[in-house]
Structure 1
Amino acid sequence: MTKELLLQSEWQKRIGSSKLATKSKLRGQHKGSHRSNRFGSSMDFSDFREYHAGDDVRQVDWNVYARTEKYFIKRFLDEQEMRVHILLDASKSMVHPEKWLLARQLALALGQLVLQNDDRLSFSVISAQPVIPFRKKGATYKQAFAHTIASLQRPSLKDSFVQHAMKQLAKGQTVLILITDGLEPIAEWEALIQRLPRYAGDIRIIQIETQEEMKPNFTGDVELYDIETDEKLNISVSNQIIQQYINKKAEHEKKFQLLCAKYGVATIQLVAEEGFSSAFFHRLKKANWIM
């Protein structure tokens, strides 16, 4: 598979004019394309302050001195790189074709936003097959990252995505993005989410679900198959049972949202069938995740 099959050329052009937005204090120590809260040597002027012994005399503004007969130096905003880690869920609950396609498309598009702005990207996958983490900086690695995403195998991990997530994280990130369906038990999510603020200043979870997961449309005698445990269960599905499922799922989502809000984690829920263009250029932009 090639990146053209994941992202249309029209989408690529629009992605090229976008940026990943964040209010987090930038932490990278290397030069990048983002203004930090610190003062340094970029060309972006900030303000003046009085000259103190030991300051660089080259920063003295002589025009101000001519008007005030006082020494002032110019201050400039420093530029630092943004560090972004994208963590992708490749457990078996993500195996639905449209869900897995959208998850990879979003990972690819967000990763390219990071690389094209000369920032540092880390990408890792929780999957049954070992995948070497991708850690690169700069636009020259966009093609390599596209190849990494295109080479990912069909989700087959039977274990919990949440229980393995901590092994892939590194501290000192500006933004941490988790792409998952969020279906693991709330207790597991709480154990993970309460620890995430140690790793990044800006944490985001993208939940991808299918219409069928949100509201099943089948009734009668069916054999249910747990895709993660391989367990099978014969059941007669009625409207009452479907409503019980919907209520239980709504309760899970409410608890999940409250948990994320408690720890300052931003979330967005996407429907796989609505496709990449709606998810990326409408939903993420409306949420101010990209600009």
Structure 2
Amino acid sequence: MTKNILPEDWLAKISRFQVATASKLRGQHKGSHRSQRFGASLDFSDFREYHLGDDVRQVDWNVYARTDKYFIKRFLDEQEMRVHILLDATKSMGEQVKWTFARQIVASLGLMVLGRDDRLSFSYVQDDVKPPFRRKGAMYRRAFLQVVTDIEEANYTASFSQGALKAIPKDSTVLFIVTDGLESIEEWEQLLKRLPRFAGDVRIIQVVTEEELHPQYAGDVRLVDSETGRDVNVTMSSKVLDTYDTRRRLHEEEFEAICRRFGVRKLQLKVEDGLQHAIFQQLLKAHWIR
């Protein structure tokens, strides 16, 4: 068995947190989240007058004794949250520290979901499409952690945006996409405009490294495209670095704009800031967890 990618004490640290959403909950199974409907939980809401056809077991006889009128109790309904996590496993994610960090984020979110008795599904883009991991309940936390740990390489050979639609179920409350966001803006547009049919609350976690943000190369270097394998010889001058920075910033601005256009929330996490900062500072501050 491969050693888990999270520290042994990490489960205890995140056990008190859960995914937060204002999206309408789906499903008829009991969970830990209150919906806007009335149901049969133990949390009292209010009274309403009895109408023909109502369940007589809900009549409050104490109120009847005082008022000589029939009223029934209403209780808050509790429904499960359905969370799907999609991991970008294209080759650009394959740099060791980025890949480890991305899987740690995935694992942490999934453990929160399972720990709150919500339903978790997880998938990643891969050449051979397989059914997603689907489980509910804390008893499956170790199994999920092992599944994420065992994804050893990011080696998907096609476009992430094309593979994503094949890997996402259509019954989610919240959809997390963990990616580096390096697909073209045109491909992101094609993906994002289709996501509302998969979930009402879509969130993108963009994983980046300091080297990607501010490369420190100098002299003559050979750069190899991790996706295509094509290479190019470049003399790293200040002009080249400035051009790269300008194009990177433009891509980020367009990515942010396309997310806002389709109602998708996006959060950028830098690997060097560490897992603890990402979870307990950034995700918490963004109200993605509570």
Provide the TM-score with structure 1 as the length reference: 0.95
- State the Cα deviation string for residues 2-21 of structure 1 (Å, max 9, x = none): 22xx2223322111111111
Deviates more, 1:147-156 or 1:58-67: 58-67
SS for the counterpart of 2:211 is helix
Aligned to 1:2: 3
Paired with 1:70 and 1:242, the residues of 2 have a C-alpha distance of 79
Q: CA deviation at 1:123?
A: 0.5
Paired with 1:108 and 1:7, the residues of 2 have a C-alpha distance of 8
Counterpart amino acid of 1:201? G
- Number of residue-to-residue matches in the alignment: 289
Paired with 1:157 and 1:284, the residues of 2 have a C-alpha distance of 27
Q: CA deviation at 1:57?
A: 1.8
Aligned to 1:216: 215
Paired with 1:70 and 1:251, the residues of 2 have a C-alpha distance of 67
SS for the counterpart of 1:127 is coil
Paired with 2:210 and 2:118, the residues of 1 have a C-alpha distance of 35
Aligned to 1:250: 249
Task: Give matches, 1:156-167, under 5 Å.
Answer: 156-167=155-166
SS for the counterpart of 1:74 is strand
Paired with 1:209 and 1:170, the residues of 2 have a C-alpha distance of 26
Aligned to 1:118: 117
Paired with 2:135 and 2:65, the residues of 1 have a C-alpha distance of 48
Q: Which structure 1 segments of 5+ residues have no match?
A: none
2:12 is equivalent to residue 13 of structure 1: yes
- State the Cα deviation string for residues 172-206 of structure 1 (Å, max 9, x = none): 21110000000100000000001101111111100
Task: Give matches, 1:241-280, under 5 Å.
Answer: 241-280=240-279
Paired with 2:125 and 2:111, the residues of 1 have a C-alpha distance of 20
8 A contact 2:85–2:123 mirrored in 1: yes
SS for the counterpart of 1:159 is coil
Paired with 2:40 and 2:128, the residues of 1 have a C-alpha distance of 45
Counterpart amino acid of 2:88? D
Aligned to 1:84: 83
Q: CA deviation at 1:131?
A: 5.3
SS for the counterpart of 1:41 is strand
Provide the identity percentage.
54
Counterpart amino acid of 1:166? L
Paired with 2:115 and 2:255, the residues of 1 have a C-alpha distance of 33
Paired with 2:271 and 2:62, the residues of 1 have a C-alpha distance of 59
Q: CA deviation at 1:227?
A: 0.7
Provide the TM-score with structure 2 as the length reference: 0.95
Paired with 1:192 and 1:96, the residues of 2 have a C-alpha distance of 24
Aligned-pair RMSD on alpha carbons?
1.4
Aligned to 2:234: 235
Counterpart amino acid of 2:247? K
